[in-house]
Structure 1
Amino acid sequence: MNTEALASFVKIAELRSLSAAAKLYGLPKSTLSLRIRQLETDLSVALFQRSGRNLLLTEAGLTLLRHARKILQNCDAARAAVTELSTDVTGTLRIGATGEFGTAFYAQMLIAFRELYPKVDIELTFFSPHMLYAADSFDMLDAVISWDEGREDTETLSTATFSLFASRSYLARAGMPDSPANLADHQGIVYRTPAGLQHWRLQKGMAQESILPRSNLIANDYWTVKYFAVAGEGIAYLPRFFTAIECERGHLVPLLADWESAEKPVSIRITRPHAASRRMAAFMDVCRRYFSPGFVFTGPRYYVEAIHDPNRPEEERQS
């Protein structure tokens, strides 16, 4: 039985869509379709049945999925065991992550790893936070990184704090808030979590505030929230590291400097600690060094550039 066909079958089964699997894993739909047909011909069964836009597993498909995951895990374990005999760090590293700050966080960390270990192949898969600990979704992953409250089986890599930010053009129109009480007079750009709208949770010493601002812009993507803030649409609640470049370039201004959120941990969980590999040990070493004091990232960084802002005062555009 062809392992590439089995791997393609698992990808399609998990996403319930040929198109979604092709897009997520960068494979031609025709290739995936051919592999499924080969499997069905080899086994003389139908593995999927269509329901609207989704592909649902038949009874035979459900049975194969259970065995396919075990087969692929055993193949990975055999490959890892042979690879460990080599002095080079090679093989495939499969990382799952929540998708809040993909390019500004996970991609940068993986580039730092690739600079040291170019022979390791990387597969990075983003998940919605509410799917994070669905065990059957992570059978094929080596580690999962998330922004959460931490678990006993995770290691905290770093922490981040959220603060408030707005553009100079917005502040020129609406004024600068000097206390959390003033935020009621301002327009917010609100992030939607799977559980609902995200409150702005701020603290200063022993004082704490939880604010849900008035808003006509809501998004479940932090990059979009930041874009709207740079465009002058209101105040955004974002991590400090995520707005560092925009603040350096003057596209965003930090507000209420003494008020910020509690520290939010960034955690990593090794999904198969019993099958530790040399590449996983190398990855953990790089992750720890990436967040250590004095580490300098030299790869490309992403940010929102305000090339044209129609709300910016005329004298600023001419300067």
Structure 2
Amino acid sequence: MNTEALASFVKIAELRSLSSAAKLYGLPKSTLSLRIKQLETDLNVELFERSGRNLVLTEAGQMLLKHARQILQSCDAARAAVTELSDDVAGTLRIGATGEFGTAFYAQMLIAFRKLYPNVEIELTFFSPNVLYAAESFDTLDAVVSWDEGNDEGETLSTATFSLFASRSYIERAGMPKTPADLAEHQGIVYRTPGGLQNWRLQKGSAQESILPRSSLIANDYWTVKYFAVAGEGIAYLPRFFTAIECERGHLVPLLENWESAERRVSIRLTRPHAPSRKMAAFMDVCRRYFSPGFEFTGPRYYVEAIYDPNQPDEGKTR
């Protein structure tokens, strides 16, 4: 059975679209289609059936997908074992992550790694937490990086705290809150977690507050929450590292000094901790250095830039 055909089958099955797989992996649709036809001819079964615009696995396709992943994983393990005999750190590293801060966090860490080990291919896949730890996802990955709440598994890479931020235009319009009680008079931009709306959990010394603000803007993406805050739509509850550039440039202002969340843990968990490969050992070393004091990241950094001031609409336009 052709491993390229199997790999193409898995890609199409995961995306449920031949066109999407061709676009994502830079392969001609005709090549992918031919490989699937070869597999179906070899096995004398149909692997997909069409449902609207999507391709859905047949019963035979579902069975093949389970085995195809195992076969490809074994091939990767064999390739990695041979690669380990050379001096180069190479191969494919498959990292799964929860997607809260993809470009501002995971992508930067992976770029730092790639600068040191350019021969390692990276596959970064974002999952919701409930899917990330499911066996069918977990077993196909080398490591999982996540923001854990109440979970002590894996190695701690870093910790982060959340605080409240707003734009100067919002503060000029709505006033500066002096205490958590003042937040009842303000508009919030609320993040929706898989389990529901995220409360603003703040503490200062022994005092603790849990606030769910009134809001007309709710999103399940932190970048969107931050964008709305920079645009002057309300107060946002965000990690300090995530708003550092916007605060430096004056696009956001921290509120309620010394009120912040408890520390949230960022962890990495190896899927095969008892037999780490050379590339995985190198990746772990870079991750630890990335979060160590004094490390300076020199790659691209993403942030929300306000080139349009809502108080002076004639100066320019948003982008």
TM score, norm. by length of structure 1: 0.93
Q: Which residue of 1 aligns with 2:82?
A: 82
Q: CA deviation at 1:166?
A: 0.3
Provide closer, same or farther for how the CA distance between residues 198 and 81 of structure 1 changes in structure 2, counting only shifts above 3 A: same
Q: CA deviation at 1:15?
A: 3.8
Q: CA deviation at 1:138?
A: 2.8
Q: CA deviation at 1:149?
A: 2.2
**How do residues 220-259 of structure 1 correspond to structure 2 at under 5 angstroms?**
220-259=220-259
Q: Which residue of 2 aligns with 1:55?
A: 55
1:163 maps to amino acid:
S
Deviations 1:1-36 (A, max 9, x none): 221221222233234343454455454544433322
User: SS where residue 123 of structure 1 aligns?
Assistant: strand
Deviations 1:248-278 (A, max 9, x none): 0000000011100010111111112244210
Deviations 1:87-146 (A, max 9, x none): 110111111111111110001000100111111111111112332211102322111111
Q: Which residue of 2 aligns with 1:98?
A: 98
2:195 maps to amino acid:
A
Q: Which residue of 2 aligns with 1:183?
A: 183
CA distance in 1, matches of 2:138, 2:284: 18
1:91 maps to amino acid:
G
Q: Which residue of 2 aligns with 1:193?
A: 193
1:18 maps to amino acid:
L
Segments of 5+ residues of structure 1 without an aligned counterpart are: none
Q: Which residue of 2 aligns with 1:141?
A: 141
2:110 maps to amino acid:
L
CA distance in 1, matches of 2:229, 2:280: 38
How many positions carry a matched residue from both structures?
A: 315
CA distance in 2, matches of 1:26, 1:256: 49
Deviations 1:236-256 (A, max 9, x none): 000000000000000000001
The CA RMSD over aligned residues, in Å, is 1.9
1:35 maps to amino acid:
R
2:243 maps to amino acid:
T
Provide closer, same or farther for how the CA distance between residues 127 and 152 of structure 1 changes in structure 2, counting only shifts above 3 A: same
Q: Which residue of 1 aligns with 2:33?
A: 33
Q: Would you say 1:273 and 2:273 are equivalent positions?
A: yes
Provide closer, same or farther for how the CA distance between residues 151 and 184 of structure 1 changes in structure 2, counting only shifts above 3 A: closer
Q: CA deviation at 1:39?
A: 1.3
CA distance in 1, matches of 2:72, 2:218: 41
Q: Would you say 1:207 and 2:216 are equivalent positions?
A: no
CA distance in 1, matches of 2:93, 2:128: 20
Provide closer, same or farther for how the CA distance between residues 154 and 27 of structure 1 changes in structure 2, counting only shifts above 3 A: farther
CA distance in 1, matches of 2:222, 2:166: 14
CA distance in 2, matches of 1:24, 1:198: 33
CA distance in 1, matches of 2:274, 2:230: 46
* Deviating more after overlay: 109-118 vs 9-18: 9-18
1:50 maps to amino acid:
R
Provide closer, same or farther for how the CA distance between residues 212 and 55 of structure 1 changes in structure 2, counting only shifts above 3 A: same
Segments of 5+ residues of structure 2 without an aligned counterpart are: none
CA distance in 1, matches of 2:137, 2:24: 15
CA distance in 2, matches of 1:191, 1:227: 12
1:9 maps to amino acid:
F
